[in-house]
Amino acid sequence: MRRRILAALVALTALATTSPAPAAVAAEQTATAEQRVTAAVFPRPVINEDFPDPDVIQVNGTWYAYSTNNGRGHVPTASAPSPDGPWTIRGDAMPGGPSAGWAQSGRTWAPDVHPNPDGSFTLTYTAWHKASGRQCIGVATANSPLGPFNPVGSQPLICPLNLGGAIDANTFVANDGTRYLLWKNDGNAIGVNSTLWLTRTTNNGTALTGGNTALISSGGVIEAPDLVQRGSQYVLFYSGGSYTGCEYLTSYAVAPSLSGPWTTAYRPLMTTATFDNHVCGPGGADFTNDKVFLHGWVNGSRHLYVADLGWANDYPVVRGSRVRTEAERGTLNNCRVRSGAAGASGGAVAAYIDFADSWVQNTIYAPRAGSYTLWVGYANGSGSTASHGVVVNGNSQGSVSYPVTGWDNWRQASVGVTLNAGWNTIRLTKGNAYAEVDYFELQ
């Protein structure tokens, strides 16, 4: 398990209460400035050294993490009593290195460790193919999650040299117990399309038992697949962009079955921007039921982070990564949608929120209970600072202020809110002056 993908959906919007006096507005602006800093909860760094392309498993109450090779060895390993740590580096899980039969040391990437029914563990890894110089996928086994893992066989498990080789293996076990291996043909290494593939394996993952099924393809970079089966669909996470900097990201696609069709998320799940630059190049992600592990660049190396994960109608939501909802798609009372709004997200906005009983309302999904930042895309051409009341689950949580921008000149304002775990109703109500609302982003 390892890297993943993008975000989409959930609803929000709505405001509340009566117009505050000018002094109250000024006080609210000051509070809002503080809330911008403190309300959002971003991914937490848990290993503050190079630990890229993480794969994480839990065995008998202990968590184990594995990374791409670095100064710690071929397969650096760490353990912790919980996903949030504290994490302890435990050494090299494959101290003997990749298979001497076909691989050489130096580029042992993106390990995947999975427990087997007999109590053993299988490591699937990417290594440097001696004969071609490309990357290919090998397999090793051990009796402990800490290793030592010993390579199986004298040839790679997957090595399509005509497609650029293979990298980023990741185990997926369907709800019916069928075991598969996800992987990527390294097409961008030779100037051809890269595809994420699914191949059936034995129940210990050491041999292939079926043909290759293409999932999604790209002429750019698409890699680090991780597959999750939810009640209504399959969610395929992947990384994209250049891994060397902050443009690296995580996105996803969904399908009703493994045979597709796959629909790519409208917006990425995690980017440097969606985390407000708190994580540079969030990628190589590995997803569990309620956590996501990812790496991000810090002073020239990729550190390990963990973030809370939730599922909004079987779509992923990562705490701290902005999720956008169009305001005009909510419930509007004594106001209306204005279509053709120049420069607006989606081309339409909630407008004419002009009366005491005017409000815009929608629902937003929060992965955990606690503090969040609600960003509101707005335009204010009324000539003075405007505001809307903020009502969360029927209770007033202050107001959000909108400095003057001019009409169709869209900017963002923010307010800290406290949410329940799961779905929350947010209402924006008429306050001071007048503003149109374009979208909401929860962070």
Place of tokens 């906005």: 349
Evaluate whether 227 touches 172 at the Cβ level (below 8 Å): yes
pTM: 0.90
Measure Cα distances from 410 to 347, 370, 379, 434 in Å. 12, 28, 5, 14
C-alpha 252/C-alpha 8 separation (Å) is: 9
Evaluate whether 208 touches 224 at the Cβ level (below 8 Å): no
The pLDDT value recorded for residue 440 is: 97
- Spell out the residues 6+ positions from residue 191 whose beta carbon is closer than 8 angstroms to its own: none
The pLDDT value recorded for residue 215 is: 98
* pLDDT category of residue 434 using cuts at 50, 70 and 90: very high
For residue 404, what is the DSSP state? -
For residue 327, what is the DSSP state? G
Instruction: Give the dihedral sign, CA 215/281/106/171.
Output: negative
Which tens digit of pLDDT belongs to each residue from 280-337? 999 999 999 999 999 999 999 999 999 999 999 999 999 999 999 999 999 999 999 9
Mean pLDDT (whole number) for 62-68: 98
The pLDDT value recorded for residue 37 is: 37
Structure tokens at 437: 């609302």
Domains recognised in the chain with CATH numbers: 22-41+324-442 (2.60.120.260), 44-318 (2.115.10.20)
DSSP-based three-state secondary structure for 23: helix
Contacts by 257-261, CB closer than 8 A, 24 or more apart: 258/174, 258/198, 258/213, 258/234, 259/213, 260/215
Evaluate whether 320 touches 443 at the Cβ level (below 8 Å): yes
Closest CA to 190 of 212, 165, 224, 168: 165
The pLDDT value recorded for residue 71 is: 95
Mean pLDDT (whole number) for 154-165: 97
The pLDDT value recorded for residue 95 is: 97
* pLDDT category of residue 22 using cuts at 50, 70 and 90: very low
Mean pLDDT (whole number) for 211-229: 96
Backbone angles phi, psi at 277, to 5 degrees: 70, 15
Question: Cis (ω within 30 of 0) for the bond into 111?
Answer: no
Which tens digit of pLDDT belongs to each residue from 375-400? 999 999 999 999 999 999 999 999 99
| Ramachandran category for residue 232: left, alpha or beta (phi over 0 → left; psi -120 to 50 → alpha) | alpha
- Spell out the residues 6+ positions from residue 153 whose beta carbon is closer than 8 angstroms to its own: 99, 101, 138, 139
Q: Percent of the chain at pLDDT above 70?
A: 91
Strand residues in 152-207 grouped as ranges (E): 166-173, 179-185, 194-201
The pLDDT value recorded for residue 19 is: 29
Q: Percent of the chain at pLDDT above 90?
A: 90
